[in-house]
Amino acid sequence: MDHRDEPGDDGGGASGMHCPNLNRTPSPALFVGTPRPHRYSPANLESTPMPKAPDPITRDLWHVVAATDELKIGLIETTLLLDRRLAMTRGLDGEPVVWFATDEENGEDIDAETVLDRLPVKTAYGYTWTCLGTPSADLFPIPEFAEADRVNMSCGSIGIHVSAPRAVENFLDMGHFPYVHTDILGSEPHTEVKEYDVEVSEERDEVLATKCKFMQPRAAKSATQAMEVEYVYRVPHPFCSVLYKSCPEDESRRDVIGIFLQPMTEETCRAHLLQSMIDSTSTITDLRRFQQTIFGQDKPILENQYPKKLPLDPRSETPIRADKSAIAYRRWLSQKGITYGVIPQAN
Amino acid sequence: MPLSLSDPTWYPIASSEDLPFRHVYHGQLLGRELAVWRADDGNVNAWENRCLHRGVRLSIGINEGQELKCQYHGWRYANRSAGCTYIPAHPADAPARRIENRKYPVREAFGLIWSAANDDQPFAPFPGAEDHDWFALRPVPVNATPEDVLAGLSRLAPDDQPVEFIPGRAVTLGSAHFFVQPVDAARSVIRGILPEKPADEIATLRYYNEQLTKLRDSLERAAAKKPAPEPLQPVFEKVSVELSTMPDIAVPRGNTFPVVVKRKWQSADGVIGFELADRDGKHLPTFQPGAHIDVHLPNGLVRQYSLTNGPGDLMSYTIGVKAESASKGGSKVLVETVREGDVLAISEPRNNFPLRRDATRTVLIAAGIGITPLLSMARFLDKSSLNYELHYFARASETMAFSSELDVLHGRADRHIGLTREAIKAKVAEVLGQYQFANHVYICGPGAMLEMVQETATALGWPDEAVHFEYFQNDKTIDASSAFDVELARSAMTLHVPAGRTILETMREAGLTVPSSCEQGACGTCLTGVIEGEVDHQDVYLNKTEKASNTCMMTCVSRAKSGRLVLDI
């Protein structure tokens, strides 16, 4: 867009500034748009990570890093987790191997057997998880994933220039459906967020929102008409959430959608999506495309949120009743002592 | 001189032509982002580029003409005040709290839009500014410090013509004036203006583009060789404690402020219009469609009048007053003794008659002076291109107020004149039709009319929550049969309220001074906080949610359902 002249004189003493010489060869018209802040591409983020030691809770969590199937056996894939560059591959046995990258490049060949200094690895829900500290406990359960007749699939890993907790909060939010997912998950005039229940389950240490109801024109790929959909949201991990929603195909069961955020830096993350559906007609491609459409609508909104870290001070933003689950989530993060990807409340 | 976040200087932030119809421009000044937009009334707004709800940039919002709508949750903010007027997640509520975005001072002059970090300095034109019709050049962004850019511009002056610096990081080079907009510590925009539109516009623009592009290249080459200064770190101001908590019902406040009667005129037979404005020409507080103000009259009475204004129309409030309604001398004083130029005290706008903007069809039914809140609603719906129809019933066409205002609406505005009671009823039934999902009707007029429309709507299957109305007077029969005790927490006193006497009377008999005005539960003057006990609300002042909160009451008509009430008095 930026057609600049060849470097000429350095501007000192340029003459004729007040009497345009109209016989000059015109330069291409210059479109000068609004100056915008610099954008970071993932490439330069990876090359210049700003190191910050994550809080101990975050350090000891299991973090998602890749859809296991998408890691190629014998090929390196690099990524970023908590500001650290990681390399990943799969061994001949198909098991993922993850380690701190040194000079490895994306796409290089490697024999997983030669990697000695490995990070802890777990595979769950189709994804590979690792931990940079001492893994604290098992990963949270999603019992439905094991049900035989469900279609389980990963729906892609999408980079977002926002903190992981902002993305979790967006996943919990119903009020934006008519405006961001117009004619799919919501449409005017059905903008109301009805009262729902939120609790922090002490036993399972997770935020739970129940009786969340919303009128949706096309709640799922298998939906053919508008229906009032009931949601249950779980936040069983500071950077992961799972939702259960009425299934258009079988009233007695619920579709499960999980979002697992990989905190790359404090202000960038990758969203890994899981669908575990009761859907006998749609193809996996259709189901993936549907979820990616939804996520593609959220991404530009999330990337225009400021500050990019989630502010935990109650006075930083203005909640309404519809934001009860977000308020509970912010408090829960605060109480846990999470400081990574958030702006902690000043004491 | 390093840049300061609190630099009070006015700088250009955009060209006038960067703000075309219904656009939102992403501006930047001193490290801050601004959402800059022109309302349909011509007013230019420069707001912090961040919705107070969830921090989404307002520059990606939608300019609805007189309101800006956030992309994320559809919150709407009013022109001028930046006050929130509508929250779609709770369509039946009037936003009770004052949610207001941060604004920056803004002026449009000399082909440019100007802003400053604060109000510390009045806007002052540069010398000779007023004598010309300025022509704005294309702005040129430069990744260099504002100081270096200014120095670079000054070097463009030919040797025989010394450069003249003018206040606000600006130079004149011959007749051209160049201003350096400090975007951030290491980023600037050169904004040039010429005293008049050149004969060959394109050639002139190209000429200056070439010159400034050369300058930019050399400045950026030089800047790349030295360390860039740290970007400014603007802080987002915290919201008030009131806004940070979950919105429990706030007890309405009795704050008043003075306004001047700017215009008083006969709007129709028996209806006098009053236009009320701030004494210093500032904008008035944000209001929502359906809102009213309390007007404190010279004789000590307080009366409620609906605002007729449309969205973002805050330079004055316009109310309509019925001349012959002389109950207890209220409106009569306004009509007979208040003149243009007089000062009245009014309350901030309150809304007991909120307009849902999520209906597929909105029916507005007005009778007589009841047109006032419905005119406001029609104007909001009109601006947002929502489907509505307004039906205005009156005895004679001469008594129809605000006729010219109705004429400019784009939606359907039907006038029904001189119909009999039966004919009115038939017409109402016809316009309502059988109830359909997401239809809403709003009625304002005499008590008998309200009841007739409610009955008709019910008969046609309209549920209560789709039928909205507002009483101006409390026409209900007050049930004063209960007897109970009131404990006055701050006065350390317990009183017995017998059947047939009000709490207000009982308190006065006990020697307390308690303010009141209408004494029929309509004006809000005797509003009192409730600490304990269950209130038997009989007023028409508090709205449903306020009543349900059980935190406040009108002591002139309301009573106790429990044996004891503890009041904050």
The CATH number assigned to the domain holding B96 equals 2.102.10.10
In terms of domains, do B343 and B366 share one?
no
Evaluate whether residue B218 is within a structural domain.
Answer: yes
Q: What residues in A contact B151, CB-CB < 8 Å?
A: none
Evaluate whether residue B397 is within a structural domain.
Answer: yes
Classified as helix, coil or strand, B40 is coil
Mutate to test the interface with B, among A6, A309, A320 (most CBs of B within 10 A): A320
Residue B110, C-beta contacts closer than 8 angstroms, at least 6 positions apart: B125, B129, B132, B134, B193
In terms of domains, do A89 and A159 share one?
no
Residue A239 and residue A260 in contact, taking contact as beta carbons nearer than 8 Å:
yes
**pLDDT at res. B327:** 54
Residue given tokens 């931990």 in the structure block: A131
Evaluate whether residue B22 is within a structural domain.
Answer: yes
Evaluate whether residue A8 is within a structural domain.
Answer: no
- Mark yes or no for CB contact A22/B203 under 8 Å: yes
In terms of domains, do A105 and A160 share one?
no
Q: Is the pLDDT of residue B485 over 70?
A: yes
Mutate to test the interface with B, among A9, A23, A32, A170 (most CBs of B within 10 A): A32
Summarize pLDDT for B130-151 with one digit per residue, the tens: 889 999 999 999 999 999 999 9
**pLDDT at res. A24:** 37
In terms of domains, do A152 and A126 share one?
no
Q: Is the pLDDT of residue B95 over 80?
A: no
Identify the helix (H) or strand (E) that includes residue A229. Answer: strand A227-237
Mean pLDDT of B311-318: 96
β-strand pairing of B187-194 with B552-554? unpaired
In terms of domains, do A122 and A150 share one?
no
The C-alpha atoms of residue B396 and residue B258 are separated, in whole angstroms, by: 36
| Final residue belonging to a domain, choices B203, B224, B245 | B224
In terms of domains, do B39 and B130 share one?
yes
Evaluate whether residue B479 is within a structural domain.
Answer: no
| Final residue belonging to a domain, choices B172, B200, B224 | B224
Q: Is the pLDDT of residue B35 over 90?
A: yes
The C-alpha atoms of residue A88 and residue A99 are separated, in whole angstroms, by: 7
DSSP track, A26-61: PPPPPP-----PPPPPHHHHHHS----PPPHHHHTS
- Mark yes or no for CB contact B89/A322 under 8 Å: yes
In terms of domains, do B297 and B366 share one?
no
Q: B318: domain range?
A: 256-347
The C-alpha atoms of residue A37 and residue A22 are separated, in whole angstroms, by: 35
Residue B250 and residue B96 in contact, taking contact as beta carbons nearer than 8 Å:
yes
Sheet with B11-15, strands from edge to edge, namely B11-15, B112-115, B106-109
Residue B540 and residue B450 in contact, taking contact as beta carbons nearer than 8 Å:
no
Evaluate whether residue B538 is within a structural domain.
Answer: yes
- Mark yes or no for CB contact B213/A4 under 8 Å: yes
Evaluate whether residue A22 is within a structural domain.
Answer: no
The C-alpha atoms of residue B146 and residue B170 are separated, in whole angstroms, by: 10
Residue B200, C-beta contacts closer than 8 angstroms, at least 6 positions apart: A22
Q: Which of residues 323-342 of A touch B (CB under 8 A)?
A: 324, 327
In terms of domains, do A97 and A231 share one?
no
Summarize pLDDT for B518-561 with one digit per residue, the tens: 788 877 778 898 999 999 999 988 877 778 888 899 999 999 99
The reply to whether A1 touches chain B by the CB within 8 Å rule is no
Q: What is the ipTM of this complex?
A: 0.83
Mutate to test the interface with B, among A4, A24, A191 (most CBs of B within 10 A): A191
Share of chain B above pLDDT 90, in %: 70
Sign of the alpha-carbon torsion through B421, B424, B426, B432: negative
CATH number (domain holding residue A241): 3.90.380.10
**pLDDT at res. A189:** 83
In terms of domains, do A243 and A157 share one?
yes
Evaluate whether residue B528 is within a structural domain.
Answer: yes
Nearest-CA neighbor of A117 among A99, A130, A135, A131? Answer: A99
In terms of domains, do B378 and B343 share one?
no
Classified as helix, coil or strand, A267 is coil
The C-alpha atoms of residue B552 and residue B503 are separated, in whole angstroms, by: 13
In terms of domains, do B172 and B199 share one?
yes
Summarize pLDDT for B415-441 with one digit per residue, the tens: 999 999 999 999 999 999 999 988 999
Q: Is the pLDDT of residue B316 over 90?
A: yes
Evaluate whether residue B236 is within a structural domain.
Answer: no
In terms of domains, do B203 and B100 share one?
yes
CATH number (domain holding residue A94): 2.20.25.680
Residue given tokens 């701030």 in the structure block: B278
Evaluate whether residue A232 is within a structural domain.
Answer: yes
For every one of its 347 residues, what pLDDT tens digit does chain A have, with 9 covering 90 and above? 333 333 333 333 333 344 333 333 333 333 333 333 333 334 444 444 455 689 999 999 999 999 999 999 999 999 999 999 999 999 999 999 999 999 888 889 999 899 989 999 999 999 999 999 999 778 999 999 999 989 999 998 999 999 999 999 999 999 999 999 999 999 888 899 999 999 998 888 999 999 999 988 876 777 667 788 899 999 999 999 999 998 878 888 899 999 999 999 999 999 999 999 988 888 889 888 998 999 999 999 999 999 999 999 988 999 898 999 999 999 999 999 999 999 998 86
In terms of domains, do A224 and A112 share one?
no
Radius of gyration of chain A (CA): 24
- What are φ and ψ of residue B11, in 5° steps? -125, 150
Radius of gyration of chain B (CA): 29
Number of cross-chain residue pairs from A and B with Cβ atoms under 8 Å apart: 187
In terms of domains, do A119 and A163 share one?
no
Beta pairing partners, B432: none
Nearest-CA neighbor of B224 among A78, A7, A105, A35? Answer: A7
**Could you tell me the pLDDT band of residue B471, with boundaries at 50, 70 and 90?**
confident
In terms of domains, do B371 and B456 share one?
yes
**pLDDT at res. A91:** 94
- What are φ and ψ of residue B105, in 5° steps? -60, 145
CATH number (domain holding residue B428): 3.40.50.80
Evaluate whether residue B530 is within a structural domain.
Answer: yes
Nearest-CA neighbor of B233 among B3, B45, B57? Answer: B3
* Closest residue in chain A to residue B191, using alpha carbons only: A32
B158 burial via Cβ count (<10 Å: 0-12, 13-18, 19+)? middle
The C-alpha atoms of residue A253 and residue A287 are separated, in whole angstroms, by: 18
B113 burial via Cβ count (<10 Å: 0-12, 13-18, 19+)? buried
Q: Is the pLDDT of residue B326 over 80?
A: no
The C-alpha atoms of residue B508 and residue B111 are separated, in whole angstroms, by: 63
| More reliable by pLDDT, B454 or B327 | B454
Q: Is the pLDDT of residue B247 over 60?
A: no
Residue given tokens 């029916």 in the structure block: B363
**pLDDT at res. B472:** 67
Q: What residues in A contact B210, CB-CB < 8 Å?
A: 5, 24, 27
Whole-prediction pTM: 0.84
In terms of domains, do B321 and B204 share one?
no
The C-alpha atoms of residue B503 and residue B100 are separated, in whole angstroms, by: 37
**pLDDT at res. A35:** 37
- What single DSSP character describes residue A305? B
3-state SS track over B91-105? CCCCCCCCCECCECC
Long-range pairs, A188-191, Cβ under 8 A, ≥24: A188/B74, A188/B88, A188/B358, A189/B358, A189/B359, A189/B360, A189/B438, A190/A214, A190/A215, A190/A216, A190/A226, A190/B358, A190/B438, A191/B74, A191/B88, A191/B89, A191/B91, A191/B358
Residue B307 and residue B316 in contact, taking contact as beta carbons nearer than 8 Å:
no
In terms of domains, do A171 and A93 share one?
no
**pLDDT at res. A237:** 97
CATH number (domain holding residue B535): 3.10.20.30
Strands (E) across B3-49 are located at: 11-15, 24-29, 32-38, 44-48
Nearest-CA neighbor of A165 among A262, A256, A242, A234? Answer: A262
| Final residue belonging to a domain, choices B347, B380, B397 | B347
Q: What residues in B contact A314, CB-CB < 8 Å?
A: 244-245
Classified as helix, coil or strand, B378 is helix
Strands (E) across B452-555 are located at: 467-469, 484-488, 493-497, 527-532, 535-536, 552-554
Give the tokens for residue A151: 């279609």
- Count of structural domains, chain B: 4
Distance in Å from the first CA to the final CA of chain B: 57
The C-alpha atoms of residue B501 and residue B521 are separated, in whole angstroms, by: 14
The C-alpha atoms of residue A19 and residue A14 are separated, in whole angstroms, by: 12
Q: A176: domain range?
A: 143-343
Residue A282, C-beta contacts closer than 8 angstroms, at least 6 positions apart: A221, A222, A290
Q: Which of residues 135-194 of A touch B (CB under 8 A)?
A: 169, 174-176, 178-180, 188-193
Distance in Å from the first CA to the final CA of chain A: 48
In terms of domains, do A247 and A326 share one?
yes
Q: What residues in B contact A178, CB-CB < 8 Å?
A: 74, 88
The C-alpha atoms of residue B359 and residue B375 are separated, in whole angstroms, by: 17
* Closest residue in chain A to residue B159, using alpha carbons only: A13
- Count of structural domains, chain A: 2
In terms of domains, do B92 and B209 share one?
yes
Helix axes B201-224, B146-154, angle to 10 degrees: 120
In terms of domains, do A206 and A332 share one?
yes
Chain A: nearest CA to B76, how far in angstroms? 13
In terms of domains, do B309 and B192 share one?
no
DSSP track, B172-225: EETTEEEEEEEEETTEEEEEEEESS--SSHHHHHHHHHHHHHHHHHHHHHHHHT
In terms of domains, do B181 and B205 share one?
yes
In terms of domains, do B457 and B501 share one?
no
In terms of domains, do A105 and A183 share one?
no
- Mark yes or no for CB contact B246/A319 under 8 Å: yes
